[in-house]
Amino acid sequence: MFHDVRMRGFKERADVAEVQAWIDALAIATRTTSVGLDASHGRVLAEDLVSAVDVPSFARSAMDGWAVCSDDTLGASDTDPVLVKVIGTTLPGRPHEGEVHGGQAVRIMTGAPLPRGADAVLRAEDGEQREDELQVRATVPRGRHVGERGEDVKAGTPLLRAGRRLRPQDVGLASSVGCAQLTVHAQPVIEVIVTGDELLPAGSQPEGANITDANAPMLRALIARDGGRVETVAMLPDSEAVLRAALEESAADVVILTGGSSVGEEDHAPRLLHELGTLSFHGVAMRPAAPTGMGTIDERAVFLLPGNPVSCLSAYDFFAGRLVRRMAGRSPEWPYRSQHGRLTRKIASVLGRVDYVRVAVDGDAITPIMTRGASILSSTTESDGFVVVERDSEGHPEGTEVTAYLYDL
């Protein structure tokens, strides 16, 4: 049964953990896509990358110097050099084609293929060449400074596993095995709907009874950070008909709507979501962001975030972002670094409610910012991060060791 909260208030609020469990259990489309190497950094592999080739496909020198027969160098030293004859040069990409026999050597550069017959490399520092005569001044055992075929990668080896978020060196490795395209998780497509007759679009000068929207540009940045792609940002009036059409017609994977989710007369979104699909939650036991709601319309997840920008940020990070990250193939957990420290002031909370407390972090000292309210976005730009007070806690006295999550990535 639908409980219309408008002008009445919430009957009961869901637990944060319960809502997160619902998000984690949502059946999501696991779309994959193929991207070129240059677009692959930071994306998440959707299948194992297995090399089809040996890298390198030949034995090569690990140093600049001379390719030699190791037996020739036995006993050679600075004071007792051995003489051999240099019969050619092998360069990277330009191999010496002949064979090397005892008493012979070939100049070799790092990365060059070892000529047939040679089995070790004498470093440049350990020899001196005059004309075609080389003084060998060190003993090199068989295989010294030689990288065998496949020493970096052997054909058939799984190099990177599905689920891996690609690092710069992963991209380099994929290139080295001849892989030009990688199969990665597709970016979930997000539609952002901003409602509120008082709102002017981002970039406008605020004036009169109007304020300029902060949520759409903030959500755009959050969603991009989490691996999603914002396809459309719609700014809609507080009209039930307009909002209904937008929710029905969206082609996005996830709709994130801000404003119009609470108990006000113009808050149509929860009832519309109930009518068009399922309103799974409305009202969460947290502060700020208590009026958050969510559900599904067909295969589409719909998040109703409060219009107050601090609540919007908090509700995005707790809920919507969790799904975006998961659909992008990433860990659903916060992307924030965490840091331990001690509270310089107590935090008061209420049993049964999760609190999102903005804090200043200075070394080991964690100081709650006097919050002033969920509409004060500057409270999140003045703070370094946040501390979460769990539902089973009434808060923490001064001096408690807590974990702060840092906004600065």
Site for a copy of itself in 362-391 (CB under 8 A): 372-378, 380-381
Interface characters, 52-91, with a copy of itself (x: CB under 8 A): -x-xxxx-x-x-x------------------------x-x
Closest approach of a copy of itself to the CB of residue 269, in Å: 14
Dmax over Cα atoms in the chain, in whole Å?
98
Decide whether 249 or 408 has the Cβ nearer to a copy of itself. 408
Q: What residues contact 291, with CB distance under 8 A and at least 6 apart?
A: 10, 261, 262, 263, 282, 283, 304, 306, 311
List the one residue from 26, 28, 138, 151 that touches a copy of itself (CB under 8 A).
151
Closest approach of a copy of itself to the CB of residue 373, in Å: 6
List the one residue from 4, 47, 132, 197 that touches a copy of itself (CB under 8 A).
197
Q: What residues contact 369, with CB distance under 8 A and at least 6 apart?
A: 357, 358, 359, 360, 379, 382, 383
Decide whether 79 or 169 has the Cβ nearer to a copy of itself. 169
Q: Residue holding tokens 């409270």?
A: 379
Q: Which stretch binds a copy of itself (CB under 8 A): 71-79, 201-209, 246-254, 395-403?
A: 201-209
List the one residue from 12, 38, 78, 131 that touches a copy of itself (CB under 8 A).
38
Buried b (16+ CB within 10 A) or exposed e, 205-244: eeeeeeeebbbbebbbebbeebbbbbeebbebebeeeebb
List the one residue from 102, 141, 158, 178 that touches a copy of itself (CB under 8 A).
178
Q: What residues contact 82, with CB distance under 8 A and at least 6 apart?
A: 72, 73, 75, 76, 135, 136
Cα Rg of the chain (Å, integer): 32
Closest approach of a copy of itself to the CB of residue 208, in Å: 7
| DSSP annotation string for 29-71 | ---EEEEEGGG-TT-BBSS-EE-SS-BSSS-EESSSEEEE-GG
Q: Which stretch binds a copy of itself (CB under 8 A): 20-28, 77-85, 243-251, 262-270?
A: 262-270
Residues 306-345 that bind a copy of itself (CB under 8 A): 307-309, 313, 337
Decide whether 215 or 280 has the Cβ nearer to a copy of itself. 215
Residues 129-148 that bind a copy of itself (CB under 8 A): 129, 147
Closest approach of a copy of itself to the CB of residue 102, in Å: 23
Give yes or no for a contact between 274 and 5, defined as CB atoms under 8 angstroms apart.
Answer: no
DSSP classification of residue 381: H
Q: Based on the shown chain and the rule CB under 8 A, indicate whether residue 94 belongs to the binding site for a copy of itself.
A: yes
Decide whether 32 or 375 has the Cβ nearer to a copy of itself. 375
Helices (H), 155-306: 168-176, 215-225, 240-249, 269-276
Closest CA to 303 of 227, 386, 219: 219
DSSP classification of residue 162: T
Closest approach of a copy of itself to the CB of residue 272, in Å: 17
Closest approach of a copy of itself to the CB of residue 116, in Å: 13
Q: Based on the shown chain and the rule CB under 8 A, indicate whether residue 207 belongs to the binding site for a copy of itself.
A: yes
Residues 7-36 that bind a copy of itself (CB under 8 A): 7-9, 36
Closest approach of a copy of itself to the CB of residue 113, in Å: 5
Decide whether 297 or 388 has the Cβ nearer to a copy of itself. 388
Q: Based on the shown chain and the rule CB under 8 A, indicate whether residue 199 belongs to the binding site for a copy of itself.
A: yes
Closest approach of a copy of itself to the CB of residue 204, in Å: 6
Residue type, 337: R
Does residue 92 have a cis peptide bond before it, meaning omega lies within 30 degrees of 0?
Answer: no
How many binding residues for a copy of itself (CB under 8 A)?
104
Q: What residues contact 181, with CB distance under 8 A and at least 6 apart?
A: 34, 35, 36, 37
Decide whether 61 or 250 has the Cβ nearer to a copy of itself. 61
Decide whether 125 or 364 has the Cβ nearer to a copy of itself. 125
The distance of Cα 15 from the centroid of its chain, to the nearest Å, equals 27
Closest approach of a copy of itself to the CB of residue 75, in Å: 22
Interface characters, 213-252, with a copy of itself (x: CB under 8 A): xxxxxxxxxx-xx------------x--------------
CA 154 to CA 91: how far, in whole Å?
23
- Separation of first and last alpha carbons in the chain: 43
